[in-house]
Structure 1
Amino acid sequence: MAIKVVDIIVERRDKILLIKKGDFWILPGTEIKEGESELECLGRVVSNEMDDQVASIFKKLGKTIKGPSPVRPGDVEVSIYVGDIGKKKMSDVKDCNAHWFSRESIATIRLSNITKQILDYYFSET
């Protein structure tokens, strides 16, 4: 059975925020804990991975994406939200494991397969 995961797509000025995990760039996201809502999970991941908070959620994408996880054994089933974080300026995200990428430059970096599937779906919807 696939592990339930929630990811957030943060896009500002046509750039997507990605996090470096091991050899891959991925969207901020994590496994949903028992008894935790998807939105609580998003709040936790933004707090833990970016030392920030979710400022707003614009929408939840209409489909989940399933596939092998780049950071844990087994498959994941990812629910995807589009939103923003509390940092006012893009330059405030200074974590060396987080970076803003243009849609064009995303094609040149090493994404996990599931992150590529998620972004392909997102770009087809926007």
Structure 2
Amino acid sequence: MAIPVEKVTPYDEFNFEIPENEFPKSGISARAAAALVVSEEWTDANPMLNMSSFVTTFAEPEAVEVAKRNMYKNYIDHDMYRKSSRWRRAWSSGCISCGMAQKGSSLMARPL
């Protein structure tokens, strides 16, 4: 079903499928996009039930808040985010290792 051009009800933007191999010609609201993503991932495994790996599945609320406040930072930009560079140096002090200084799609590795 194509994206409705004109909404008849507030729920119309939730009642369509996104094509797998192409972008839709028109957009949808952030709320509808989030609902579609959640509906697609409902069959994914629950990490809280995965006892066969060493994945951290819990974080204190304070840790979650720190992550939320910092999720848009580009940590590879050391001039803009000097404090995070210092934290990284402290964690790898005295070690000869290679690590990542960023998150997201930037995959630029550099020695610590």
TM over 0.5: no
Larger radius of gyration: 2
Q: Which one has a larger percent strand, Structure 1 or Structure 2?
A: 1
Higher RCO (CA 8 Å, separation ≥ 6 residues) = 1
TM-score, normalised on structure 2?
0.19
TM-score, normalised on structure 1?
0.18
Q: Which one has a larger percent helix, Structure 1 or Structure 2?
A: 2
